[in-house]
Amino acid sequence: MSTVAEIEEAVAKLPPDDFARLMEDLRDLAAARAALAEIEAGEKPAPLEEVAARLGL
């Protein structure tokens, strides 16, 4: 496993587009963890049909 310093060094070397993708991936990960926490707390997930309709699929 990498140390924080190694991760900081690697991130500092990323091209701007790769850094932006990394930030997007981290936001997606945080949202997924929050959704799983809600489900574990007893909330029911939205039905697939409802999600698809909201996304226009």
Question: pLDDT by residue (tens digit) across 8-53?
Answer: 999 999 999 999 999 999 999 999 999 999 999 999 999 999 999 9
State the pLDDT confidence band at 1, using cuts at 50, 70 and 90: confident
User: What is this structure's pTM?
Assistant: 0.70
For the chain, what are the domain ranges?
A: 4-55
HSE-CB at 50 with a 13 A cutoff on CA atoms is 4
Residue for token pair 């140390």: 3
